[in-house]
Structure 1
Amino acid sequence: MKDFIIDEDLLIQGGDFAIKDSDQQNIEHLLLSQKGSYKEFPILGVGIKKYINSSEATSRLRLENEIDKQLSYDKFHVKTLDVNDLQNIKIDGNY
């Protein structure tokens, strides 16, 4: 999917907004956002920060389920999802 690129601010190239492949950016925004962050879609958002400091296995299972559910809401087709290392979550799939 192609969209505007945000890198601390909107990325500008050649005097116009940069439009590039945005799949990674979309996933990142979805993981970081809380429910209610997007007023048009109030149930969209994982809120990953609340899971980062939890060491419970059930928290990781909830996180995996929440990521899968939220990506599905965003029309992303998840092939594989690995949340065993919270510093390096692996998501394979496509829009």
Structure 2
Amino acid sequence: MTDIILDNNGDLKLQNGDFVLGYSDNQHQEHILMATKGEFKEFPELGVGINRMLSDDDFTPFLIDAKKNLEYDGMKINNIKFEENGNLNIDGYYK
């Protein structure tokens, strides 16, 4: 999906005085995973709150919630899992 790109600080990325457009799927995934429910005012049930998961030993409910939220956003999720190195692997694409 092509959308407005944000920089590493979450600010609009500008180039030559204009917004930067580009591939934004990963950016959308990151925002959904980091947001807690209620942060998206138009869609109050959207958001996973990955920070809550960091203090929990059981991450299975987080993976289930992440899959549901990403599917709600229009992704087709084949698999979502934590790899041995701790990275979250999302195998999916926007329809």
Give me the TM-score of the superposition, normalised by structure 2. Answer: 0.90
Superposition misfits of 4+ residues, deviation over 4 angstroms: none
Whichever residue aligns with residue 2 of structure 1, its letter is T
1:83–1:90 contact (8 Å) kept in structure 2? yes
Q: How does 1:1-95 map to 2 (within 5 A)?
A: 1-7=1-7, 8=9, 9-56=11-58, 60-83=59-82, 87-95=86-94
Q: CA deviation at 1:83?
A: 2.7
The answer for unaligned runs of 5 or more in structure 2 is: none
Q: CA deviation at 1:79?
A: 1.2
SS for the counterpart of 2:78 is strand
Give the TM-score normalised by the residue count of structure 1: 0.90
Unmatched tracts of structure 1, length 5 or more? none
How far apart are residue 32 of structure 1 and its match?
Answer: 0.2
Q: 1 or 2, which has the higher helix percentage?
A: 1
CA RMSD of aligned residues (A): 1.5
- Aligned letter for 2:20? A
Identity of aligned residues (%): 39
